[in-house]
Amino acid sequence: MKNFPCCFPVFFLFFSCFSITGFAQYQPKNLSAADLKKANTWVENSYNSLSQDEKLGQLFIVALYTNKDENHIEGVRNLVKNEQIGGLILMQDDAAREINLVNEFQAKSKIPLMIGMDAEWGLFQRIPAAHKFPWAMTLGAIQDKSLITEMSAKIAEDSKRMGINWDFAPVVDVNTNPNNPIIGNRSFGSEVPNVVASALAYANGLQDNNILAAIKHFPGHGDTDKDSHLDLPVVSHSLKRLNEIEIAPFKALMDKGIGGVMVAHLYVPALEPTKGIPASISKNIITGILKEQLGYKGLIITDALNMGAVANKFKAGELDALAFKAGNDIMLFSQDVATGKKLIQQAIDSGEISQKRVEESVKKILLTKYFLGLNKYQPRNPENINEDLNNESHQKIVQKMYANALTLLKDDKKLLPLNCKETYYYIPLEEAPYQTFLDELNLSTTVILKKPSEIGEIPANSKVIVGFHKDNSTAYKPYKISAESKKILSELSKKTAVILDIFGSPYALSDVDISGVSTVLVSYENNDDSMKATAKALSGETRIWGKLPVLVTNKLKAGDGIELNPAVRTIYPHAEKQN
């Protein structure tokens, strides 16, 4: 294996044959010696009760969809019963049915199933009826990181309500490539310290509430130009650069008790000498760097094995065996559990893999399940689940996040906060809805809507609010601003005082000329919560103090942002106009 420079402390958690507590990175707080003894006893008894085939079953997590046909459901049912798999990842989309199926499958499992979900922006990521939380890019703009912990604690509450034990989050990829097709909004930003602080706050909110976190995608997916769901991205940086940027957040978080690390489907030539071998099946990267160099003792899980980056190059089952040989504990989204188990057993029989290696992974899985309370699983009640996942308590905390993320980049003519005694014109541009923003502004200020074709009707020297409203339906939508919108902005800037608000990625400003624009804000997302929070902030109800989480241009750098504190500026209450 190539030499991997190490300029950071390595934390090894040693264990002896008399205790297996060292197998787990995650532990609930304030565990007593008696608690640890009970955990060890349960793990040993559970491990010894399993046949070899059942032990191997613990290494696999398969996907459960409720928007697929009954053949899919029956297939998962058979895997739970016949292969005694270790867990499920819940996909789209019916919360009540998922609860019923999980209750059924848990009752049929000799060892309780670990239930996971990609819930980076809350359960909404998979369940449309749930409430959407902000993307990581938005959270990266927030300066009080305890707010992120507060938010992820709410995600943990929703997860518990569903019977979910593991949120495959947060993403700790450092997004240094604005054209990254798969990370982008999922990253906390382009600066390592901000990514680390934000990710730790997020993980603490989960794990302090007994939901496992997983930092991803090791060794770093932030500078890629391919979507690994479709093809294998290549990260060609030097060891020095990888150590300073891509791997740096993982290093910083390794000793923070975070229970899981997800390994990416990336080819990294500086870390893996064999051409085309993805990190997710590279022994050099997983065993050599993640386990031995970094000393990580938590659960190591592959990214989904159905993704094109690996599924197009390796046979199902064979891929699972390669992943386990490389050092992964869990194969996520396995496409052929039976073949994977068979090939792993063949490798054990031939001496390629030791039985001790199986024991290490299975006991690590069992101990984590115990710490998550799965030794005493209680069925969940599906009644009122959609209301429980989407109500006023969610709106309140989400709007607080958007308010604290709002970033003011310019205010040359001191146009903020808005003056309730003045009249403003409002021009919505781009493709997404805007009515909520207009309605909220009009609660405290007189705002006249004008269509782009009507800008000639706006008197010179007027104050104009321009909203770039980008499609917020997924995290992967393009952020580019159209030539038509840029032209309208330029024309307005010549004769009026413009307040520009970006309801989308800050990268949208990368090719927008704002030199003649008086006031520029970034609201990061375009939805009802972000629009309500922004309108209140513009009216002076809340402090504006977010900072850009990413480098946009040489003039718009990460960390930029002007604080606007209502305590020292004239405040115009949101409801004053109604009095």
DSSP assignment of 512-569? ---TT-SEEEE----SHHHHHHHHHHHTTSS-B-----S--SSSS-TT--B-B-GGGS
Q: In what order do the strands lie in the sheet with 331-332?
A: 166-167, 114-117, 87-90, 60-64, 331-332
Type of residue numbered 163: G
Q: In what order do the strands lie in the sheet with 463-469?
A: 407-411, 519-522, 497-503, 463-469, 423-429, 446-449
Pairing of strands 407-411, 519-522: antiparallel
Which residue spans within 6-48 are E strands per DSSP? none
In whole angstroms, what is the distance from residue 60 CA to residue 490 CA? 56
SS3 346: helix
pLDDT by residue (tens digit) across 283-304? 999 999 999 999 999 999 999 9
pLDDT over 90 at 343, yes or no:
yes
SS3 390: coil
Please work out, in degrees rounded to the nearest 5, the angle formed at the alpha carbon of residue 251 by the alpha carbons of 174 and 211.
Answer: 85
In whole angstroms, what is the distance from residue 60 CA to residue 283 CA? 19
Task: Output the six-digit token pair for 89.
Answer: 């990842």
Predicted pLDDT of residue 22 = 52
In whole angstroms, what is the distance from residue 95 CA to residue 386 CA? 7
Predicted pLDDT of residue 449 = 98
Q: Are 98 and 115 in contact (CB under 8 A)?
A: no
Task: Output the six-digit token pair for 5.
Answer: 């420079």
Provide the pLDDT confidence category of residue 4 given band limits of 50, 70 and 90. Answer: very low
pLDDT by residue (tens digit) across 359-369? 999 999 999 99
Q: Are 298 and 261 in contact (CB under 8 A)?
A: yes
Beta bridge mates, 469: 503
In whole angstroms, what is the distance from residue 88 CA to residue 114 CA? 6
Provide the pLDDT confidence category of residue 20 given band limits of 50, 70 and 90. Answer: low
In whole angstroms, what is the distance from residue 95 CA to residue 105 CA? 15
pLDDT over 90 at 566, yes or no:
no
Q: Within 10 Å of residue 412's Cβ, how many Cβ atoms?
A: 11
Type of residue numbered 236: S
Least confident window among 6-15, 29-38, 177-186:
6-15
Provide the pLDDT confidence category of residue 11 given band limits of 50, 70 and 90. Answer: very low
Q: Of the candidates 411, 443, 439, 414, which has an alpha carbon nearest to the alpha carbon of residue 541?
A: 443
Provide the b/e sequence for 441-479 (b: ≥16 CB within 10 Å).
bbbbbebeebeeeebeebeeebbbbbbbbbebeebebeb
* This model's pTM is above 0.85: yes
Domain boundaries 406-539, corresponding CATH code: 3.40.50.1700
Q: What is the mean pLDDT of the chain?
A: 93
Predicted pLDDT of residue 400 = 98
In whole angstroms, what is the distance from residue 481 CA to residue 105 CA? 48
Predicted pLDDT of residue 574 = 43
pLDDT by residue (tens digit) across 61-77? 999 999 999 999 999 99
Q: Of the candidates 548, 525, 509, which has an alpha carbon nearest to the alpha carbon of residue 477?
A: 525
pLDDT by residue (tens digit) across 388-419? 999 999 999 999 999 999 999 999 999 999 99
Task: Output the six-digit token pair for 145.
Answer: 């990181």
Query: Would you list the domain boundaries of the chain?
Result: 49-390, 406-539
pLDDT over 90 at 19, yes or no:
no
Task: Output the six-digit token pair for 167.
Answer: 């949120």
In whole angstroms, what is the distance from residue 442 CA to residue 256 CA? 47
Predicted pLDDT of residue 226 = 86
Please work out, in degrees rounded to the nearest 5, the angle formed at the alpha carbon of residue 55 by the alpha carbons of 368 and 365.
Answer: 10
CA–chain centroid gap for 447, Å, is 36
Task: Output the six-digit token pair for 281.
Answer: 């099946």
State mean pLDDT over 317-341: 98
Type of residue numbered 543: R
Burial classification of residue 566, based on how many CB atoms lie within 10 Å of its CB (0-12 exposed, 13-18 middle, 19 or more buried): middle
Burial classification of residue 170, based on how many CB atoms lie within 10 Å of its CB (0-12 exposed, 13-18 middle, 19 or more buried): buried
pLDDT over 50 at 3, yes or no:
no
Q: Is the N-terminal amide bond of 417 cis, ω within 30° of 0?
A: yes
Predicted pLDDT of residue 23 = 62
Q: Within 10 Å of residue 3's Cβ, how many Cβ atoms?
A: 6
Predicted pLDDT of residue 145 = 98
Domain boundaries 49-390, corresponding CATH code: 3.20.20.300
State mean pLDDT over 448-477: 96
Q: Which of 15-19, 25-29, 253-257 has the highest mean pLDDT?
A: 253-257
Task: Output the six-digit token pair for 34.
Answer: 């008696």
Q: Of the candidates 519, 557, 508, 537, which has an alpha carbon nearest to the alpha carbon of residue 402?
A: 537
Pairing of strands 114-117, 166-167: parallel
pLDDT by residue (tens digit) across 187-220? 999 999 999 999 999 999 999 999 999 999 999 9
Provide the pLDDT confidence category of residue 24 given band limits of 50, 70 and 90. Answer: confident
